[in-house]
Structure 1
Amino acid sequence: MLLTTLVAACRHQPKPLSFYYWKTQFTLNDYERSVLKNNGVKSLYVRYFDVDLKPEDNQPSPVSPVHLDTAMQGYRIIPVVFIRNRTFERLQPADIPTLAQHVFALVAQINQSQHIATTEIQFDCDWTERTRDKFFQFIQQYRAITSQTISSTIRLHQIKYKDKTGVPPVDYGVLMYYNMGAISGDNTNSIYERSVASRYNTYIKTYPLPMDVALPIFSWGQTIRNGKVVELLNKTNITQFENDSNFTRLNKTRFITKHACFNGGYYFKEKDEIKLEQVSADDLLDITTQINQNTNHRIGKLIFYDLDSTNLVQYEKDIFKKVLNHFN
C-alpha cells in the first residue's frame, strides 16, 4: 500500500516536458534551442530509425537511420524505433529474436557514434489484434538482452479495445493523442477532432499501464483534386499559402490553386484545393482539460510532437508552459 502511494505521489509531481525529434539529421537551430532552454527541457525522444520490410525479399530492415551530432549531448536521449505493423504481419515467430538483436545492435552503434549511453528505449508500432502477440514477443526478446526501461506508444483505439489488442509488456505507455480521424476532404480535422476523442476518453483511466501523453504541435495539408485527397503535404502550414499569390483563400483553412505551380516542394494543378490542418493553442488547452477529466491524474510527462521550428513558430512562446500548468 505504501509503495502504491509513493508511486502515485511521484506521478503527481510537477510534470516534466519533453519533445519528439523526428528528422533523419539531428541538428538544432537557435530557435529550437531557445524553446528547449526556456521550457527547461532535459530529455528528448529521438527517432533513431524505422523498421520495415525490404521489397525484394520481405525481410525486416532499418530505414533512414538518424545522423546525430554533438548538439544532443546536453540532453537525456531516449531512442525511439518505429516498426511498421506489416513487419510483424510477415515475420515468423522464430525470427523475432534475431530482429530484437539487430535492433539492439543498431541502437548501440548509433549511440557509439556520439559516445553516449542511453538507459531507455521506446518502440512505436500501431500493432493490431493480428500482430499483438508478435510485437509483444519482440518486446520480451528485447528485454531479455537489456536491462533498459522500455516504453511503447499507445493509440486511442488500443486503449478502447485493449481486450482485443492487448497491453504491451512495457514499463509505461505514451498515449498518442492525435491522428484520430480519417484523411478526407471534409471539414473534420484528422489530427485532432474533439467529437472523435470523446468516444475514447472514458477508457483511458482503466488502462493498466503508467501513462505519459504526446500532444500534437505539427501541421500538414491535403491536396484535394476532383473531390478526392490525392496527396498529404507534410511540414506544411497556412503561412506558406497566405503569402503565395498563386493561391486564393477560400476560408480559414482552405485555398484553391489559380494555375499549375509549385509550393514547398509540392506540385499543384489548376483548381486543386488545399486543406490545411493544425492544432490551435486553444485545442491544446482543450485536450489537457479532457485528459485531466479522464485519467485520474495518472499522466506523468508531456511530450510534444515534434521539435521543429516550422511547428514551434505557429505558437506563442509560452504555450508549452501554459499547457503544462493546465494539467492537474
Structure 2
Amino acid sequence: MKIFCFVFLFALMISCENSKSHDYTFYYWRTHLSLDAPEKAALDKASSTYIYTRFFDIEKVNGKFQPVAVITKDRTFKTDKEVVPVIFIRNDLFYDITLDEINFLAQNVATLIKKKQTEFGFKVSTQIQIDCDWTAGTNKEYFTFLQKLKEFSKKEISCTLRLHQVKNSKLSGIPPVEKVFLMCYSTSSPLENSTKNSILDFPTLKAYLKNIDLYPLEIEIALPIYSWGIVTNHLGKHKLINALSVEDLKNVNFKKISDTEVEVIKDGFYFGNYLNKGFNLKVEEISEDRLNQVKKYLNKKLPGYSIVYYHLDSRFLNHHSY
C-alpha cells in the first residue's frame, strides 16, 4: 500500500509539473494597429494584463538616429490591457557611439513613446521594452543606453534576450534591467539549406538553454505561433513568404514532396509572389505539441514565468489553444 501511495504521489507531482499554468499575452508586431474579431477575442481571453506592442524602430539614416515604421492606429484597436511599448533598435547603432549620442537617443526614444501613448489614449504603461540583438562588441554602449532610458523615462525597463546571449552570457554580458524576455524561436536561419525547423528546433533550443537556470535575472518567455513559407529557386536561393500554413500547399499546381513541402509544377502568382515551375516551397509552422514540449522543459529549469506569444495575428490564432 505504501509503495502504491508513493508511486501515485510521484506521478501526481510529475503531472502537475508538466501542466503548470502560466499567465500569457501577445506581442503585437504590425505597423498599423487594428484588431479583427478573432484577435480581439484572443486578446480579451489572455490572462495577463499587458500587451507588448511594437511602437517604432530606430535606425541610422544619413548618419542620424531616426524612428522608422512608427505605428498608426484605427478605431478597431481597443483594449483594456496595459499597452507596453516595444522598441526595436539595430545592433549596429551602438558601434562607435558617444555618450552624448546615447543620451540623445535615450531622451528622444522616451519622448516619442510618451507622445504616442498620449496621442492614442493608451493606459500609461509602467514598462518599456527594448528589442536589440546586442553582442559582446556593443554590450557596454547598449547597457548604458538602457540605464539612460530608465533615467529619462522613469519607467521599468525590460529587454529581449536571444538564445546566443544566454549560451554566451559571459561574453554578451548581463543587461541592467528588471527582467528579460527570452525569445524561444529563430533557432537557425530560414535561408540555410537545412532539414530543421528554423523557427523552433527543440534539440537546438535545449543546447542553447542548458544553463538557463543559472541566468541571474527574472525571465519571461516569448514563444512563436507564427509560420512562413520558404521558397527555393533553381539556383538554391531562398525567399520567405510570411504566414503560410500546410493548408496553403493544397493546390493542383503543386506536387507534394512531403507533408510540409511541395514543388511548383506550373508558373504563376501564388500568395502574392510569382513562382516558376520547379521552385520548391516548404512551410514551417509550430505545432501545439512542440510548444508544450518547450514549456515542459522550461518548467524543470525555471521556478515560474509568464508567456508572451509572438505574435497576435488572426492567421496564426486557430492553431493553438494557449
Does the 8 Å CA contact 1:26/1:66 hold for their aligned counterparts?
A: yes
| Corresponding residue to 1:212 among 202, 209, 220 | 220
Alpha-carbon distance in structure 2 between the residues aligned to 1:48 and 1:65: 6
1:110 aligns with 2:120: no
Deviation for aligned residue 1:200: 1.8
Percent same amino acid at aligned positions? 30
1:145–1:36 distance in 2 versus 1, CA, 3 Å: same
One of 69, 73, 80 as aligned partner of 1:68: 73
Q: Name the stretch that deviates more: 119-128 or 179-188.
A: 179-188
**Aligned counterpart, 1:36:** 43
Query: Alignment partner of 2:217: what SS?
Result: coil
Write out aligned runs for 1:193-272 (5 A): 193-226=201-234, 228-242=236-250, 244-272=251-279
Distance in 2 separating the partners of 1:93 and 1:252? 53
- So what's the TM-score if we normalise by structure 1? 0.87
Which runs of structure 2 are paired with 1:16-165 in the superposition (5 Å)? 16-54=23-61, 57-70=62-75, 71-116=77-122, 117-165=124-172
SS at match of 2:150: helix
2:12 aligns with: none
Shift of 1:261: 1.6
Deviations 1:101-137, CA, capped at 9 Å, x for gaps: 1111111111111223221110000100111111111
The answer to whether the 8 A contact 2:233-2:280 is kept is: yes
Confirm or deny: 8 A CA contact 1:201 1:291 kept in the other structure. Answer: no
Choose 1 or 2 for highest CA Rg.
2
Name structure 2 gaps, 5 residues minimum: 1-19
Higher mean C-alpha deviation, range 195-204 or range 84-93: 84-93
CA contact (8 A) 2:288 2:319 kept: no
Q: Kindly indicate whether the alpha-carbon contact (under 8 Å) linking 1:139 and 1:170 is maintained by their aligned counterparts in 2.
A: yes
Looking at structure 1, the residues matched to 85 and 255 of structure 2 have their Cα atoms a distance apart, in angstroms, of 42
The superposition leaves residues 39-70 of structure 1 with CA deviations (integer Å, 9 ceiling, x where unpaired) of: 4453200000111122xx13221111111345
Matched-pair contact (CA < 8 Å) for 2:52–2:83: yes
* 1:172 alignment partner in structure 2: 179
> Per-residue displacement from partner, 1:263-318 (whole Å, max 9, x unpaired)?
222221221101111111100000001111222x1x33111000000111233xxx
Cα distance 1:92–1:259, how it changes in 2: closer, same or farther (>3 A)? farther
The 2-side partners of 1:75 and 1:294 are apart by 29
Aligned length: 300
Check whether the contact 2:229–2:282 (CA below 8 A) recurs between aligned residues. yes
Q: CA deviation at 1:218?
A: 0.4
Paired residues for 1:181-196 under 5 Å: 181-183=188-190, 184-196=192-204
- 1:185 touches 1:227 (CA, 8 Å); kept in 2? no
Question: Over the residues paired in the alignment, what is the CA RMSD in angstroms?
Answer: 1.7
User: CA–CA distance in 2 between the matches of 1:136 and 1:61?
Assistant: 20
**C-alpha contact 2:57 2:68 (8 A) present in aligned 1:** yes
Matched letter for residue 177 of structure 1: C
The TM-score with structure 2 as length reference comes to 0.88
Contact 1:49 1:81 in 2 (8 A): yes
Contact 1:84–1:125, Cα closer than 8 Å, also in 2: yes
SS where residue 169 of structure 1 aligns?
coil
Change (3 A) 1:172 1:41: closer
Aligned residue identity for 2:99:
P
Partner of 1:9: none
The verdict on how the C-alpha distance between 1:58 and 1:131 changes in structure 2, with shifts beyond 3 A counting, is: same
Distance 1:59 1:260, change over 3 A: farther
- Of residues 86-95 and 285-294 in structure 1, the stretch that sits farther from structure 2 once superposed is 86-95
C-alpha separation between the residues in 2 aligned to 1:162 and 1:99?
26
Superposed CA deviations along residues 228-272 of structure 1, whole A, max 9, x for unmatched, are 242122222222222x33322210111111122222222212211
Q: Secondary structure at the match of 2:32?
A: coil
Structure-2 separation of matches of 1:222 and 1:78: 32
1:275 corresponding residue in structure 2: 282
Stretches of structure 1 that go unaligned for 5 or more consecutive residues are 1-12, 321-328
Deviations 1:11-44 (A, max 9, x none): xx96321100000111111111222233445320
The one-letter code sitting in structure 1 at the alignment partner of 2:184 is Y
